[in-house]
Amino acid sequence: MSAGRYAPSPSGELHIGNLRTAILAWLFARSTHRSFLLRVEDLDRARAGSEEQQIADLARIGLTWDEEPLRQTDRGDVYRDAITTLTARGLLYECFCTRRDIAEASSAPHAAPGAYPGTCRNLSESERVIKRRERPAALRLHSSVTELSVTDQIHGTYVGIVDDFVVLRNDGVPAYNFATVLDDLLQGIDQVVRGDDLLSSAPRQSYLHSLLAPDYDAAAPALTYAHVPLVLNSREQRLAKRDGAVTLADLELLGFGTSEVVARLLQSVNLPGDPGREPSAQLQAALRVFDPDVLPREPWVFTEF
């Protein structure tokens, strides 16, 4: 199966920036005849009631998906099996570094900005025994490359860092980069559309995908990416719930119906939007003329409708 997806974390209501990205992910998938899937990434940022509200809002704006939403907290056995496999292949090692340790090492001369410096990579067994008494270990990937090039439909060729990133946190929770890549692989997802704040994660994730594929689906195609511009507030900072009336519920209280919100979101990405039509009808009309080449390359500054 070839598929695209939208994968929010249920940490609160979706704001219009999230909804805009969800619409674009749906358009990319449907325009390329892919399935479209919804995944709830709830490993460490779940708030009671948020999942149900997010799914309801996505349906309200006219999105449809082809399978029941997958929930990461239901997949502990899957992640543990993959960790066991990577460990058996000699691809993981224990790391005892604190955030402070990493920050101080990363600020040293000649350190690659943003990259893990490899502090725990070559510890002896006796050193690991001592450190285990002090704090639990995270597990890091023993990367054989330092950078990787990926192709993005919005940004073109992007070269980014691939360091020894964490795959299992020291509290036993799978790390984001690991869980999302494994889920993409197992769900047949080969198209990743998301905000461009995550562009720097793509090389790490593409590399891990290539390592996992032989054990799960050797024929899996490489991931394709489209990192779309974000929605910013009036101060040109990333839009957040604290910026006021930015959710469907907030805007409805101000008199803006869902059809009007969808129309404005479509117009913000150079697609036709008609507030007099139902959201699903607007999305179908946008799908008929959707062309990634005419999408804006700059962020949308949201002030008000």
| Cα angle: 84, vertex 85, 88; to 5 degrees | 85
Q: Is the pLDDT of residue 273 over 70?
A: yes
Cα separation values, 34 from 2, 26, 62, 293, Å: 5, 9, 17, 19
pLDDT-based confidence at 220, cuts 50/70/90? confident
CB of 35 within 8 A of CB of 3? yes
pLDDT-based confidence at 169, cuts 50/70/90? very high
Identical fold for domains 3-71+229-301 and 75-228, yes or no, is yes
Homologous superfamily (CATH) of 3-71+229-301 is HUPs (3.40.50.620)
pLDDT in tens, 177-192: 999 999 999 999 999 9
pLDDT in tens, 225-270: 999 999 998 888 888 877 777 999 999 999 999 999 999 999 999 9
CB of 283 within 8 A of CB of 265? no
Enter the tokens of residue 154: 């919005």
Listed by start position, the domains of the chain span 3-71+229-301, 75-228
Indicate the pairing of strand 156-161 with strand 147-152: antiparallel
Which of 178, 170, 192, 3 lies closest to 81, judged by CA?
178
Confidence (pLDDT) at 89: 97
At the topology level of CATH, where does 75-228 sit? Rossmann fold (3.40.50)
Question: CB atoms < 10 A from the CB of 55, how many?
Answer: 18
